[in-house]
Structure 1
Amino acid sequence: MAHRPTALRAAALAGAALLLGGGGMLPYRAFPAVPELGRIDRIVIHKAQRRMELFSGGRLVHVMTGVGLGDAPVGQKHFEGDERTPEGRYTIDFRNPHSSYHLSLRLSYPDAAATAFAAAQHRSPGGEIYIHGQPNWLALGRLPGDWTDGCIAVSNREIEALWRAVPQGTDVEVLP
């Protein structure tokens, strides 16, 4: 999947965390339990602020901060491997309970425009963009910063709350 870190990157992240005495990860206790959200029908992600807003019935009900993005977070995703998080309007089109990242909710990227743009350059637009939790090899904590290949990463507690509240078909808007 496009959001899976390479073995080398995973080893580097784990090694850095060990060298820093765990300082390379944010401790699990830093992320309190997320309240029960009810049914979420719209998600708005502000990439520049690393902020995810959750809406129900047109009302903002919860905000998640410090979300992780792709390694190259600025700008629109154009091609597979550019490590950018796509911008635009999507829906949740698949729920993966067996993710390599705790749980994951897939965005309907690429859309027709992204596919056409990449095809005109004789390239792939990429795909398999998810909102997901932390890597399964990370027992506790949260990797800091932007480390995905274009996905949106949250804490495991946050993805568990999203898993309960976000049905397939939920609207997602990703803003610069």
Structure 2
Amino acid sequence: MKRRNLILGGTALVALGACGGNSKFKRYYGPKVTYVVVNKGARNMYLLHHDKVLESYPIKLGFAPTGHKEIEGDGKTPEGIYWIDRRNPNSRFHLSIGISYPNERDRQRAEAMGKSPGGEIFIHGQRVPFRKDKDDWTWGCISVTNKEMEQIYAMVGDGTPIQINP
């Protein structure tokens, strides 16, 4: 009986150990990310601790990358200062963190045109894992690789300001 319990217990430990190795949820123990900066023209995103760059990532944008997002479906990525306001661990694009677009100014601008400003703008992973996205392809979001998104998801907390530059 003891031998059987020992074998079953050992098997359970091996099985549990195998499950934990490839989790998409990483831990981060470094300096707090206090600001995120996106430079659309250069296609780069920077995670900063005050004025020190902690990490930088190449990015993909909306399929119409020039200019500020004005209305739903325009394919543009917003420009301005927003906040990281939510996270989605079950995203269709691996993991995602939400950007607080639209703000009040964005809503007013779209309303003046008789349109919806849209929403659901995220920093997220890839649409097809293991295939490199060549061009801007999102509907206004900011995309990175899945591996990079795992780091960003761990490092950037809700409430972090994000500045998106042209």
> TM-score, with normalisation over the residues of structure 1?
0.76
Secondary structure class of the residue paired with 2:150: helix
* RMSD of aligned Cα (Å): 1.4
**SS of 2:86 mapped into structure 1:** strand
Structure 2 partner of 1:124? 116
Q: Which residue of 2 aligns with 1:115?
A: 107
Encode CA deviations 1:71-121: one digit per residue, 9 max, x unaligned: 000001100000000000000000000100000011000000000010111
Q: Does 1:58 align with 2:51?
A: yes
- What's the CA shift string for 1:4-33, capped at 9, x where partnerless? xxxxxxxxxxxxxxxxxxxxxxxxxxxxxx
- Aligned partners of 1:37 and 1:161 also within 8 Å: no
Q: Is the 8 A contact 1:36 1:161 kept in 2?
A: no
Identity score, percent: 41
Q: Which moved more, 1:139-148 or 1:74-83?
A: 139-148
Residues 1:71 and 2:63 are matched in the alignment: yes
Distance 2:64 2:102 in 1: 18
Matched-pair contact (CA < 8 Å) for 1:45–1:53: yes
SS in 1 for 2:116: coil
The equivalent of 1:142 in structure 2 is: 132
Cα distance in structure 2, aligned partners of 1:37 and 1:63: 15
Residues 99 and 121 of structure 2 are in contact (CA less than 8 Å); yes or no, is this contact kept in structure 1?
A: yes
Distance, in Å, in 1 between the alignment partners of 2:130 and 2:29 is 22
2:36 aligned counterpart, secondary structure = strand
CA–CA separation in structure 1 for the residues paired with 2:29 and 2:132: 21
Structure with max Cα Rg: 2
Q: Distance in 2 between matches of 1:174 and 1:149?
A: 16
Aligned match for 2:98, one of 73, 86, 106: 106
Q: Using the alignment, how far apart are the partners of 1:36 and 1:156 within structure 2?
A: 20
Q: How many residues align?
A: 139
Mapped partners of 2:89, 2:56: distance in 1: 23
Q: Which residue of 2 aligns with 1:82?
A: 74
User: 1:153: which partner in 2?
Assistant: 143
C-alpha displacement at 1:58, in angstroms?
2.9
The 4+ residue runs of structure 1 with deviation greater than 3 A are: 35-38
- How many angstroms apart in 1 are the aligned matches of 2:82 and 2:89? 20
Aligned to 2:36: 43
Q: Structure 1: which 5+ runs fail to align?
A: 1-34
Q: Distance in 2 between matches of 1:139 and 1:60?
A: 27
Tell me which residue corresponds to 2:155: 165
Rounded to whole Å, the distance in 2 between the matches of 1:62 and 1:39 is 12
Offset of 1:174 from its aligned partner? 0.2
1:57 deviation in Å? 3.2
Distance, in Å, in 2 between the alignment partners of 1:37 and 1:172 is 19
SS in 2 for 1:77: coil
TM-score, scaled to structure 2: 0.80
